[in-house]
Structure 1
Amino acid sequence: MGKVIIDGNSLTINDVVNVARKGYIVELSEDAILRVKKARELVDKFVENEKVVYGITTGFGKFSEMVISKEETRQLQKNLIMSHSCGVGKPLSEEVVRAVMLLRANALAKGNSGIRLSTLQTLIDMLNKGVHPIIPEKGSLGASGDLAPLSHMVLVLLGEGEAIYRGERLSGRDAMNKAGIQTVELTSKEGLALINGTQIMTAIGALAVYDAKQLMKIADISAALTIEALNGIIDAFDERVHKVRPHLGQIRTASNIRRLCENSQNITRQGEIRVQDAYTLRCIPQIHGASKDAIKYVEEKISIEINSATDNPLIFSDDEFVVSGGNFHGQPIALAMDFLGIALSEIANSSERRIERLVNPQLSGLPAFLAEKGGLNSGFMIAQYTAASLVSENKVLAHPASVDSIPSSANQEDHVSMGTIAARKARDILFNVQNVLAIEMIAASQAIDFNGSEKLGKGTRAAYNKIRENIAHVDKDRILYKDINKSFELISSGDILREVESYIGELE
């Protein structure tokens, strides 16, 4: 079993994926342990001296003017978690919940939150032993952190709420007992330290951006298959074209297409069949490349956020200084997630237009809807409908969440990010794009069969062969959703990407 050591500063997106999906064990670094202890000592000192500090000896939000006695600080923290557990909707997936727990633990490990080491260790024990709180996906404004959903995570630490343990949905207390983990009684600052942060939106975002990077390579493979099927003109991908407009994503996409189609006898040169291809063939480097560059920006923002202190107030123990700031505000992630959704939507837009080109005999020169005995058979007619439906849904989902704001807490919190909504939308768009590409890949493979697969390039041949190992040629109408699901699995599992890269090396 792999291991990830967290220190609050060096976590990577790959680490998040390994913990969330592969069950890697999590441990605190020695430096993190020392920082956590030092910050906690300062919190205890403030409580003992009854120093007025937001969230430690005061109420929250609009109640920040209400001073709480040291005798009531424990009840204050418990009340915070119970009152803030207001999430609704379907539970987040277990992989997202695992990512949330990891990111919250890593933020606390920075030593700016004032949590007790024992409480932090309980959260890590839950992660390592597979106690996964039920966290409803809706209810966060993404500004005072992801307060409502993170409170559901903390409920289980207290023996409240619900959790999944070894595939069974249990009460929080039963899950903790079965895992052999002692529940926690929160003390001063701890409730706020656990829920004031952007870990829900960032966890969803980290997994989504990881998948988006892989999906962009799949998009190049899928597009290359269509180029092969339609005798596309390779000149548009000439390196010289892209060096004079040197956007990195564009250059890399053109290179990928050239490598995928290397040695192909299907591709043509300008003027051999036609002078120009339509934009969704000719402009693949420009379209895909722009999305790759956008995803790179999102990746940078997520990488910063997963190693950030997003608590309030923040504790700087070396200076014995506590300050109430705004690092909980999700705007950096909200904008990035909206950008990710828009960038991915464009990939499905262009893919669907290529599917239409494949199934339309007036554009492809191939049998109508790629059907043998058309009329008796409908072929891929309705598969294109499905792609069009997903693309239209994406256009709705791509409307930015971050442009909206509703004041909360009696207008104390008068601008919110809606970052968690943006992250969930980006994740939904990603799923739709995976399905559109799944349809393009099987449609392109069907089209290639009419011209002969023996003419394929080195990379496209590997992709085509992998598809045909799992999905047969459609010689007469059959239930197509099963084929689409198999194609989707080849994409989401990474199987087709690994197969292609084993032949031509890593795509960019």
Structure 2
Amino acid sequence: MLTLKGRLGIEDFYQIIFKEESILINNNVLSTVENSFDFLKKFSENKVIYGVNTGFGPMAQYKIKDSERIQLQYNLIRSHASGTGNLIPPTYVKAAMLARLNTLCLGHSGVHISVIALMTSLINKNITPIIYEHGGVGASGDLVQLAHIALVLIGEGEVMYKGERRNTPEVFKIENLTPISIALREGLALINGTSVMTGIGLINTINARKLLNWMICCSAAINEIVQAYDDHLSHELNQSKKHLGQRKIAKTMRDHLKDSTLTRKREHHLYHPNNDVTIFEEKVQEYYSLRCVPQILGPVLDTLNNVEKILIEEVNSANDNPIVDVENEHVYHGGNFHGDYVSLEMDKLKMVVTKMSMLAERQLNYLLNPHLNNILPPFVNLGTLGLNFGMQGVQFTATSTTAENQMLSNPMYVHSIPNNNDNQDIVSMGTNAANITKKVIENTFEVIAIEAITIVQAIEYLKVQDKISSKTKKMYDDIRKLVPPISDKDEPMYPYVNSVKNFILNSELEIDNHSQVN
């Protein structure tokens, strides 16, 4: 059981979403929420407060009668629950709920404490509202997607419950849950914020870190397979550049390879008299996809760390409108719901993840093309050349998936379209950015899964299981449990690729030391 005290860290997020740790709200936090509600209720008497006694958006010029204030909030929720397209998976919805809950717990939203209680119960019971990918423009926050969460909180709409899509009233009856009753401005407070894009974004950062760790592992293993010289990973070479990410990637690869007997020292082979040599039979330097891994993955790591920092700041921010300030006894109107911070970071993240998929695809091509590696058969075919096909088929999948990533990497951040009668005249498209980044990450798991299978095939062909590093051997053993040697019996590859993809996706992440790239 984790106690929420008003600030979520990435470790808390990981435990709650991926380890299904239950949550409890700290009593001081509950008091803060109650004080915020009580203050706003009293402060809003005889004042014009947006979303309490006015319409919404460009309709804010219309004053709402006191007798219609509560109906206004219900109307807002129901009218904006208008998403379409694919369903957002339950894990990502739970992340959005957690992000929204944490924001409301800051005490700047003026919601009734019943909202906190019900959201906590839904998270703990893994009851997740049905939310669609399409709908949010990310500038009065995730209005449409969050409205679907709010719809469930008032006892309407649909949820995912024990793997089934069910009507909310049925599930509430089973679990003995009571819908919230709108007390003041709960409708606006629930839907006016960046919590969906932020929740999805935080899962994206965690999954991207898993990808990076596997990309490092695959890159180190290929250096072993081709018996590369190790000085491109040396402390001295990489320390001569100031970038922290590059240095960390190089160190992680050195640690990975420390007990390998396959990588070579340049001074043992090339740093001696060679006056009688005209042409060197072996490569003096490897291709860039092997030699420049620290320089390629270093920016990925640095970007990932910064994305995570920004998203943790966002999830711990008040991101609706207006903002209730109990301490100064005031209510401030502005635009904290605007999702530009998240949108920009998601665009950065999908670019660097796409670059990882490109690196994986090039390394894969290197292994499959005998004219490049000079040590493996075409397509790492362990069967009869011409009769069997080895890894030929899956290369098409990796290539097409990488190409899709390249297309999806175009930014959403600069694709603003005015709407809402031009009230929202410049928007973030942050929800779209987070969802597209999610797709790019899912694609990259597929490409790296194909590369990992191919690496294991290459180790099988070269019979170097007893020479590779212990970390590469662990990868070899893990993949081999899922995929047998593909030799003289061709068979459908998609079950193997999906199996390895799921294995990588569900692999453990040493979250406590995440910034060090475990």
TM-score under structure 1 normalisation?
Answer: 0.95
From 15, 19, 23, the counterpart of 2:20: 23
From 412, 416, 435, the counterpart of 1:401: 412
Q: Render the CA deviation track for 1:156-189: whole Å, top value 9, x for unaligned.
A: 1112111122233221211211111111221321
Give the conservation status (yes or no) of the 8 Å contact 1:233–1:282: no
Give the conservation status (yes or no) of the 8 Å contact 1:150–1:195: yes
Q: 1:391 — aligned with what?
A: 402
Distance 1:331 1:55 in 2: 23
SS of residue matched to 1:96:
helix
Correspondences of 1:146-157 after superposition (within 5 Å): 146-157=142-153
% of aligned pairs identical? 35
Displacement of 1:34 after TM fit?
1.4
Q: 2:288 — aligned with what?
A: 279
Which residue identity does 1:432 align to in structure 2?
A: N
Which residue identity does 1:7 align to in structure 2?
A: K
Distance 1:129 1:436 in 2: 34
From 445, 450, 472, the counterpart of 1:434: 445
- 1:7 maps to 2:9: no
Which residue identity does 2:479 align to in structure 1?
A: I
- 1:457 maps to 2:457: no
Which residue identity does 1:6 align to in structure 2?
A: L
Give the conservation status (yes or no) of the 8 Å contact 2:388–2:487: no
With 255-264 and 307-316 compared, the bigger mean Cα shift is at 255-264
Distance 2:51 2:308 in 1: 32
From 364, 367, 372, the counterpart of 2:377: 367
Q: 2:51 — aligned with what?
A: 55
With 266-275 and 218-227 compared, the bigger mean Cα shift is at 266-275
Give the conservation status (yes or no) of the 8 Å contact 1:204–1:423: yes
Q: 2:67 — aligned with what?
A: 71
From 486, 496, 499, the counterpart of 1:486: 499
- 1:474 maps to 2:486: yes
Q: Render the CA deviation track for 1:240-288: whole Å, top value 9, x for unaligned.
A: 0010102111111111211222232322334563210000000001101
Displacement of 1:411 after TM fit?
0.9
Distance 1:288 1:485 in 2: 25
Q: 1:338 — aligned with what?
A: 347
Distance 2:153 2:359 in 1: 47
Give the conservation status (yes or no) of the 8 Å contact 1:156–1:176: no
- 1:294 maps to 2:303: yes
From 78, 81, 85, the counterpart of 1:85: 81
Distance 1:137 1:5 in 2: 30
- 1:351 maps to 2:360: yes
Distance 2:440 2:100 in 1: 26
Distance 1:13 1:292 in 2: 16
- 1:217 maps to 2:213: yes
Q: 1:502 — aligned with what?
A: none
Displacement of 1:507 after TM fit?
4.9
Distance 1:93 1:209 in 2: 16
Which residue identity does 1:5 align to in structure 2?
A: T
Which residue identity does 1:302 align to in structure 2?
A: L
With 155-164 and 479-488 compared, the bigger mean Cα shift is at 479-488
Give the conservation status (yes or no) of the 8 Å contact 1:242–1:254: yes
SS of residue matched to 2:265:
coil
Q: 1:415 — aligned with what?
A: 426
TM-score under structure 2 normalisation?
Answer: 0.93
SS of residue matched to 1:187:
coil
With 478-487 and 109-118 compared, the bigger mean Cα shift is at 478-487
Distance 2:112 2:96 in 1: 19
Distance 2:327 2:467 in 1: 68
From 246, 249, 252, the counterpart of 1:250: 246
SS of residue matched to 2:85:
strand
Q: 1:168 — aligned with what?
A: 164
Q: Render the CA deviation track for 1:408-459: whole Å, top value 9, x for unaligned.
A: 2211111100001110111111111111111111111111222222221232
Correspondences of 1:254-265 after superposition (within 5 Å): 254-265=250-261
From 93, 98, 103, the counterpart of 2:94: 98
Displacement of 1:337 after TM fit?
0.3
Distance 2:479 2:125 in 1: 38
Which residue identity does 2:477 align to in structure 1?
A: N
Q: 1:322 — aligned with what?
A: 331
Displacement of 1:227 after TM fit?
1.6
Distance 2:492 2:218 in 1: 22
- 1:40 maps to 2:49: no
SS of residue matched to 2:337:
coil
Q: 1:240 — aligned with what?
A: 236
Displacement of 1:122 after TM fit?
1.6
From 284, 307, 311, the counterpart of 2:320: 311
Distance 2:401 2:283 in 1: 31
Displacement of 1:15 after TM fit?
1.7
Q: 2:273 — aligned with what?
A: none
Q: 1:107 — aligned with what?
A: 103
Q: 1:503 — aligned with what?
A: none
With 357-366 and 467-476 compared, the bigger mean Cα shift is at 467-476
With 28-37 and 162-171 compared, the bigger mean Cα shift is at 162-171
When residues 11 and 21 of structure 1 are mapped into structure 2, their CA distance, relative to the original with a 3 A threshold, is same
From 223, 226, 230, the counterpart of 1:230: 226
Distance 1:383 1:288 in 2: 24
From 198, 204, 207, the counterpart of 2:203: 207
Which residue identity does 1:45 align to in structure 2?
A: K
Distance 2:52 2:43 in 1: 8
When residues 320 and 69 of structure 1 are mapped into structure 2, their CA distance, relative to the original with a 3 A threshold, is farther
Displacement of 1:120 after TM fit?
2.1
Distance 1:269 1:485 in 2: 38
Distance 2:492 2:165 in 1: 35
Q: 1:198 — aligned with what?
A: 194
Give the conservation status (yes or no) of the 8 Å contact 1:230–1:358: no
Aligned pair count reads 496
Q: Render the CA deviation track for 1:10-36: whole Å, top value 9, x for unaligned.
A: 211222232223322222112211111
Q: Render the CA deviation track for 1:349-385: whole Å, top value 9, x for unaligned.
A: 0110111110101011111111131110111112111
